[in-house]
Amino acid sequence: MPLQACVDPDSSLLIQLQAANQIVQELVLLSSQGSSEAAEPEVLEQGLRRLAQTLVQQMVSRLGVASARLWFFDPQEGCFQSVAHAGLVSPAHDQIERIYPDDSPMGRVAQQGLPLLSNNPDQEAWMPAPEWVRANGLRGFVAHPINRGEERLGALALLSRIPLQASFVEVVKFLCSYTASAIINAKLLERSRRQAVREALLNRITSTVHRFLQWDQIVSTALRELQQAFLPKGVQGLSRCCFYSLNPDQQTVQVTHEALSPGLAPCLREVYRIQDFGSLCERLRAGQVVQIALPLPPDGDLLPPAGLAAFQALQARSAVLIPVQSVGAEIGGRDPYRGRPGVQGGMIGLLGVYITTPHPWQPEEIDLLRSVAYQLAIALTRSSLFEHAHQQTERLALLHSITAAIRSSLDPTTLFHAITQQIGAAFQADVCILALWQPEQELLCPVGLYAPQLNPSVLVSGTESSLDALLMGSPELSETIQARLRWAAGLLATLKEPVVVPDDLQPQRQGSGLLWVPLYDHPQRQQELLGGIALLRGSRIPSPWQPEDLELAEAVAEQAGIALKQAQLYEQTRISAQRESLLRQLAQRLSGTYDPQQVVQIALEGMAEALQVDRCDFIAPPATPQPSSASPPEPLAIHQEYRRQPGIPSQVGQTLPPELGQLIWANCYRQLDTLLIADVHTFPLPAHTRQSLLQNGIRSLLAVPIVTDARQVAGVLCAFMPSVEPGKTADAVGLAPGDADLVNALADITAVALQRASFYEQVRRQEATAAALRGLTEGREAESRRLAADLHDQTLADLGALSRQIQELSGDPAVGPAVQTQLQAMSAQLRETMAELRGIVEDLQPTAMRAFNLGPALRSLLERAAQRSPHPLLTRFDNQADGLLSRLSPACQSNIFRIVQEALNNIVKHAGARRIDLIIQPRQDTQALCTHLELKIIDDGCGMPESKGGADPMPGHGHGLLNMRYRAELIGAAIAWRNRRFGSGTVMELRIPLPPTP
């Protein structure tokens, strides 16, 4: 079919549609063809142009039109731009290159989407170059929009040499519809290919940066890959890529990494003020992407002049700033970026992309940069976590190393040295001081020092001299350390965690200054404050403390506190063992003597050796002690002394200075308390007392009273330390509470030894008295037996013979009655005398004691008492311990007999009793766990007068009761008298200890 036939008026619509269908097939075939180079941006742009060119060429060749032109809509310009042309070329080509949606016929086609048909184009006012149209015999014109729904895609215009029918507009509409689909498909294909390009670039950057774990390598690699990447619109490679970090001052940013094209000036390490970027800062902090195109409009306020100058210095015409924000939650409650310079809050940094030519940034390009920034954030987060884990591993290893070093010994000196050396070296400190808290004085005492700048010969001389050398050798360090030490003494009491002390003495958790770390015996509960560790570094080059340094210091302090507490417990155990051994030795020595003077001398010697003092004295109590008196009744004097060093003059017999005597009297004698003055200079004393002690050469003293069970002071043990001579250093600290505890224990042992010596003396005297009494009693018994024998054998015999003679004489008849009466009276009187004499002999040597044992003898005594009574007397004898009486010794039985005999005689002579009960029964003493015999004599007589003591009812009256008491003491018995509870009468109780069963 001839080409002209397609537009011939006589041609059928079917033929035109067939030609249009062939054109559509060509377009479909063209749009479905791929290209190995389609991934490049310029090739993708040419694909749409080739599609447009094919359309117009096919319309000229298959539909027979004279001229065909195609426009694509440009949304950025807001107009239709000519992209393809075939057939005759209009001389007004430049005029129709762009079509704007307006009120012109072609503008309405573009704006309203309405087709336009004209068969007199040369006569239309809107037709450019009408002469050209008329000269080429062009008689038909049709224009039709290319839309998809409400989306504008383009427009198609045709010129024909013959008039066009209205049906032809349908054919053009059919072609525009399929052209719109082809354009959409091409754009989708182009978009997918661009997405593939972005994904390939993103994958390449991601896979590259994720191969590294170091922060610098990740950022440098990402910038280099991005700088070499292909961007749309034919822009190959970025001019400059920068990574900005926020400085710790929060006021400036710094370029820490950069990738740039050859010929550009580098900006690495450049620092910019945040305030110079105006409102951009808030948008970036909010996570927004900021685009900048230079030059800025004259009336724009986006950048202040300083910020604009900074961008111009980068030689850029177009720039994008993307915030790089951290991803993921905190690990273990800790921000993985904490402590890294430039990482503040959720922002890691800024990614800056710069191009030296004007470039309109497309949304897909911004999305690509966002994705790169996100992957960079992931990689940097992973790097920070790895770095944190690595630091944790190193710190754990360091902590284990320090722990092993400081726990390698329990010796305090070695431990103090290990703590300061290990911690000082680990933290690269210029100075590390270990100070222990002294709660009594409320001050810090330095015990360990680490200072590498000191001369080694100075370090070996001791901590105190090393500290002095450090302070003297560095005046500025001296002032710093002294101020912090004085300030920390009051701070440590409330300090719960490590703090940094700057020059203004306001504690904080990071920064430059002196790091103070408290030491507790139990870090979790923080019960007892042990001391603190002071660390100072960066005296020449500032080196601020970071939060992780404080965390490590706290962990190390925990281990150091545990080690110190273990060392303290070990030292306390060692000292306790030594003191127990010393006290055991002293107790053994004291147990071997009963001499009070020797007891005191042993105590003074042990006290001097334990305290390592040269002078110990024993202050004897006054002869007439008056504890309630405010002052001693007489000056206190030194009774005994001990001197460890020969040549020290003796002071025995000398009185104490009045001020010292008053202190010892008030504390030891009145309050029965220990007097400890660790240092006369710091102890709260009146001025004149302090001056007196110093004048007598006393720097420290300890006075401990020896208190007996009766709460009486047997004396005072005193230890003295002399004053320091001018120009010399004290070789030891003053007496401490631990020394007072030791001497208190020694005083208790001494008090027991003195009491034992006193008891021994009392027992010795009692035994001597008892021996004398036994001798006297035995002598009296022997004398009684002799007298009884003499009276019985001689006197009674003589009296008996005399009685017989008188009886014989009275029977003589030669004697008168009067004489007989006298002789009979004399005989009766003589018989009474002989009866009384026989009673005396019986009392001197009882017949019952010789014939029977003690029980019947006591019964016989009771019966004879009833016989001697001037009035009727009822008696009862109850012996419940007859078998136990035989266990008593003969001497004991004899004394019991005499005691009962004396008691019955007193009742018969003085009580006027009508009844007497004598009861013997065994008793168990639960206190002494020893069996006793209890003998009671109960009468109902007039009773005995009350006495204050209750044991002796008639003190100072007669010897009978006194003899009864002496006899009871001879046999170890206890005797007491009391009145009966109900009615009149007296009860005598005799408790007799039974000897142990053999």
CA-wise closest residue to 712 among 672, 663, 656:
672
pLDDT at 104 over 70: yes
Across the strands, what pairs with 677? 701
Q: How far apart are CA 871 and CA 62, in angstroms?
A: 181
What is the arithmetic mean of pLDDT over 489-509?
70
**Beta-strand relationship, 79-87 and 98-99:** antiparallel
Least confident of 13-17, 306-310, 404-408, 461-465: 461-465
Least confident of 51-65, 249-263, 835-849: 835-849
Fill in the amino acid letter for 507: P
pLDDT at 813 over 80: no
pLDDT for the residue 33: 64
Residues shown for the chain: 998
Q: How far apart are CA 295 and CA 729, in angstroms?
A: 80
Strands of the sheet containing 675-677, edge to edge, are 638-643, 615-619, 713-722, 698-707, 675-677
pLDDT for the residue 851: 55
- CB-facing half-sphere around the CA of 492: CA atoms within 13 A: 29
What's the pLDDT band for 470 if we cut at 50, 70, 90?
very low
Please, what sign has the CA dihedral across residues 160, 166, 167, 170? positive
What's the pLDDT band for 251 if we cut at 50, 70, 90?
confident
pLDDT at 880 over 50: yes
Fill in the amino acid letter for 732: A
Compute the C-alpha angle 229/359/41, nearest 5°.
50
Across the strands, what pairs with 935? 920, 990
Q: How far apart are CA 579 and CA 433, in angstroms?
A: 32
| Residue pLDDT, tens place only, 909-949 | 888 899 999 999 988 765 544 578 999 999 998 887 764 44
pLDDT, mean over the chain: 78
pLDDT at 583 over 70: yes
Q: Which helix (H) or strand (E) is 79 found in, with range?
A: strand 79-87
Per the CB < 8 A criterion, the answer to whether 914 and 872 are in contact is: yes
Across the strands, what pairs with 703? 675, 718
pTM assigned to the model: 0.48
Fill in the amino acid letter for 229: A
pLDDT for the residue 66: 92
pLDDT for the residue 234: 41
Q: Which helix (H) or strand (E) is 578 found in, with range?
A: helix 547-591
What's the pLDDT band for 143 if we cut at 50, 70, 90?
very high
Please, what sign has the CA dihedral across residues 279, 282, 285, 291? negative
What is the arithmetic mean of pLDDT over 435-460?
67
Q: Which residues contact 781 (CB under 8 A, 6 or more apart)?
A: 894
Q: Which residues contact 996 (CB under 8 A, 6 or more apart)?
A: none
Query: Which has the higher per-residue pLDDT, 920 or 570?
Result: 920
pLDDT for the residue 585: 87
| Residue pLDDT, tens place only, 712-747 | 888 999 998 886 544 443 444 578 888 888 888 888
For the CA atoms of 8, 12, 17, 19, the dihedral, rounded to the nearest 10 degrees, stands at -50
Q: How far apart are CA 184 and CA 189, in angstroms?
A: 8
CA-wise closest residue to 692 among 660, 650, 723:
660
What is the arithmetic mean of pLDDT over 5-32?
71
Alpha helices in 852-948 (DSSP H): 854-868, 882-885, 890-906
- CB-facing half-sphere around the CA of 405: CA atoms within 13 A: 18
pLDDT for the residue 526: 54
